[in-house]
């Protein structure tokens, strides 16, 4: 028996508009409360504080106050211009007001007797009333502790400010610096007691790669997603969090079949791929992954579907020439508006940035089918953890669009084995196609098998295939050979 759980009044939250964060925080920041945003140098605390106000101004026209203890207003205005935020215009429109409490570099300050920070509180109250602000950011606590000798006074005054903001029903953020990515929440050891809620921003160096994550450590009296979530900073948009486990798996399942672009392969799959399925084609280099991709795109265009290809291994010229060699005219497909080819070097950006860009292109182009050749190329630019998140996030996103996705994965060895990509993606995919080299009697042949076909029967044979000027042709099964998938083909007739 469950005991009766009293129904406490839910703490209302306000959406921040920071993409991903609202999902992680189950709806945004607790309304009328103060949230501490803590992070090391360069962890994007100030950006978060600015964006919190900027998004609300842009989305709902709600005014905000920015209290700066560190950078001068002129610097902040200039620094965020590249993100597309015109603070000056908002100031003129009465939507943004600075409370400038930045230290004067020239003036020396002497402490002679008892004091409190009543002036700061008076200024904040005045600013809130002046423009009717509902949001406030304070950046950063470390800088105000540095301006005064007595940390106890500063701490007491921060409590008072947080209390007054709550009375004024202002939702606020205080940023604070930490010296380590993992350890004490704030440098002064008191910050977390000022706020009911704590968000940690991290900027960790992992295998020579920078990885930004955010984690909600404490959300008093309200729910949130737990753990670290990667985020990235995109010019023109600011912070974008990538909620992985927070994503809901609520996509519908389609029973409509689509052509793989190859009649033989369709037959093997029991009539083609499902319209909203994710297919993984895995094999060593040269086994025909790009060919499967090319035929997949041709199959789409042939039925008037919009096709999108993300190519991470070959250039546009190479891809178009390859297609031509198999009798497929990419140029004509492109001219008909049925194909879009996006080529990028994995090294050109971080994995998070690639993901954001890919999502943008997908949302903008609205394809019916998407191919990624190859997904495993992205392994080069990420940590195993980062890559896993990337694969899961991309797969989930494509599934949400309810379109077909074909990913290719290059296995590290020529004769079989699995890749990291497969390990991460195999459970997320609906179908897996394996391409293998088969060595028999001194010659190298190629084999294909459908390993998995969710929701359908499929041919379990390993078929030999040939490639010519019209594409891929599946032939007879390798009946007398075993151990192909393991990368160790043997003639079964000799036992």
Binding of another protein by 133 (CB under 8 A) = no
- Region binding another protein by CB under 8 A among candidate stretches 55-63, 116-124, 258-266, 312-320: 116-124
Indicate whether 102 belongs to the interface with another protein (CB under 8 A).
Answer: yes
Beta-strand ranges (E) seen in 180-248 are: 197-206, 209-219, 228-234, 238-241
Q: Is residue 280 a contact partner of residue 432, using CB atoms and an 8 Å limit?
A: yes
Helix (H) or strand (E) holding 48: helix 45-60
Q: What is the DSSP letter of 9?
A: P
User: Per CB under 8 A, which region of 109-117, 299-307, 311-319, 462-470 contacts another protein?
Assistant: 109-117
Whether 55 is catalytic is no
Which is the catalytic residue, given 192, 295, 313, 379?
313
Q: Binding to another protein by residue 104, rule CB under 8 A? A: yes
Instruction: Give yes or no for residue 44 binding another protein (CB under 8 A).
Output: no
Active site residue 177: no
Give the contacts of 196 (CB within 8 A, at least 6 positions apart). 30, 33, 34, 35, 218, 219, 220, 221
Within the chain, what is the greatest distance between any pair of CA atoms? 98
Q: Does 100 bind another protein (CB under 8 A)?
A: yes
- Which structure tokens are listed for 387? 């890559």
Query: Binder to another protein among 79, 91, 123, 322 (CB under 8 A)?
Result: 123
Beta strands in 312-403 (DSSP E): 339-343, 369-373
Can residue 109 be called a binding residue for another protein (CB under 8 A)? yes
Shortest distance, CB of residue 98 to another protein, whole angstroms?
9
DSSP string, 59-81: HH---EEEEESSS-HHHHHHHTG
Q: Are 319 and 355 in contact (CB under 8 A)?
A: no
Residue 88 CB coordination number (10 Å): 14
The yes or no reply on residue 427 touching another protein (CB under 8 A) is no
Nearer to another protein, 103 or 417 (CB): 103
Residue 125 near another protein by CB under 8 A: yes
Site for another protein contains 74 (CB under 8 A): no
Residue 488, judged by CB atoms within 10 A of its CB (0-12, 13-18, 19+), counts as exposed
Look-up of token digits 């009375």: 167
Beta bridge partners of 433: 281, 450
Pick the piece of the chain touching another protein (CB under 8 A) from 96-104, 324-332, 370-378, 459-467. Answer: 96-104
Q: Does 152 bind another protein (CB under 8 A)?
A: no
Per rule CB under 8 A, count of chain residues that contact another protein: 27
Binds another protein by CB under 8 A, chosen from 19, 44, 117, 307: 117
Query: Which span sits near another protein by CB under 8 A: 77-85, 118-126, 339-347, 468-476?
Result: 118-126
Pick out residues in 432-461 that bind another protein (CB under 8 A).
none
Confirm if 174 and 198 have CB atoms less than 8 A apart: no
User: Is the distance from CB of 448 to CB of 463 less than 8 angstroms?
Assistant: yes
Say what the alpha-carbon torsion angle 377, 383, 386, 392 is, to the nearest 10 degrees: 50
- Could you tell me the smallest distance in angstroms from the CB atom of residue 72 to another protein? 10
Q: Which stretch binds another protein (CB under 8 A): 107-115, 214-222, 252-260, 432-440?
A: 107-115
With binding defined as CB under 8 A, does residue 122 bind another protein? Answer: yes
Decide if residue 137 touches another protein (CB under 8 A).
Answer: no
Would you please indicate which residues are annotated as catalytic (active-site) residues? 70, 313
Judged by the rule CB under 8 A, the positions of this chain that interact with another protein are 99-102, 104, 106-120, 122-123, 125-126, 144, 147-148
């Amino acid at each position: 028996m469950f005991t009766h759980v009293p129904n406490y009044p839910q703490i209302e939250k306000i959406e921040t508009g920071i993409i991903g964060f609202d999902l992680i925080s189950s709806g945004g920041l607790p309304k009328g409360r103060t949230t501490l945003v803590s992070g090391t140098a360069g962890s994007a605390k100030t950006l978060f504080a600015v964006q919190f106000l900027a998004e609300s101004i842009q989305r709902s026209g709600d005014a905000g106050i920015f209290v700066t203890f560190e950078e001068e207003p002129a610097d902040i205005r200039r620094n965020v211009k590249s993100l597309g935020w015109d603070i000056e215009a908002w100031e003129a429109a009465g939507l943004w007001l600075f409370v400038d409490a930045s230290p004067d570099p020239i003036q020396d300050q002497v402490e002679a007797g008892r004091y409190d920070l009543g002036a700061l509180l008076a200024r904040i109250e005045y600013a809130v009333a002046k423009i009717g602000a509902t949001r406030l950011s304070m950046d950063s606590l470390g800088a105000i502790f540095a301006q005064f000798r007595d940390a106890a006074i500063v701490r007491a005054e921060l409590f008072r400010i947080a209390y007054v903001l709550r009375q004024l029903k202002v939702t606020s953020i205080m940023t604070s610096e930490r010296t380590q990515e993992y350890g004490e929440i704030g440098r002064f050891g008191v910050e977390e007691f000022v706020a009911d809620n704590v968000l940690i921003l991290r900027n960790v160096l992992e295998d020579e790669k920078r990885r930004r994550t955010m984690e909600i450590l404490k959300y008093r009296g309200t729910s949130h997603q737990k753990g670290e979530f990667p985020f990235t900073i995109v010019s023109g948009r600011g912070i974008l969090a990538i909620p992985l486990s927070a994503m809901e798996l609520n996509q519908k399942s389609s029973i409509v079949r689509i052509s793989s672009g190859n009649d033989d392969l369709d037959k093997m799959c029991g009539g083609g791929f499902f319209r909203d399925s994710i297919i993984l084609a895995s094999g060593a280099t040269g086994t025909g992954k790009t060919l499967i991709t090319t035929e997949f795109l041709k199959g789409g265009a042939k039925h008037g579907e919009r096709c999108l290809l993300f190519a991470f291994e070959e250039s546009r010229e190479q891809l178009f020439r390859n297609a031509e060699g198999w009798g497929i005219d990419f140029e004509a497909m492109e001219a008909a508006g049925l194909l879009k080819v996006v080529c990028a070097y994995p090294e050109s950006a971080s994995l998070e940035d690639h993901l954001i860009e890919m999502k943008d292109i997908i949302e903008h182009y609205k394809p019916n089918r998407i191919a990624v050749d190859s997904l495993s190329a992205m392994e080069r630019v990420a940590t195993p953890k980062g890559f896993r998140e990337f694969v899961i996030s991309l797969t989930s996103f494509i599934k949400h669009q309810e379109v077909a996705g074909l990913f290719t994965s290059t296995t590290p060895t020529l004769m079989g084995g699995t890749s990291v990509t497969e390990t991460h993606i195999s459970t997320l995919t609906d179908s897996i196609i394996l391409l293998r080299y088969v060595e028999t009697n001194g010659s190298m042949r190629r084999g294909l098998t459908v390993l998995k076909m969710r929701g359908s029967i499929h041919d379990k044979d390993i078929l030999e295939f040939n490639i010519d000027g019209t594409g891929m042709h599946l032939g007879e099964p390798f009946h007398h050979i075993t151990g192909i998938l393991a990368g160790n083909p043997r003639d079964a007739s000799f036992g």
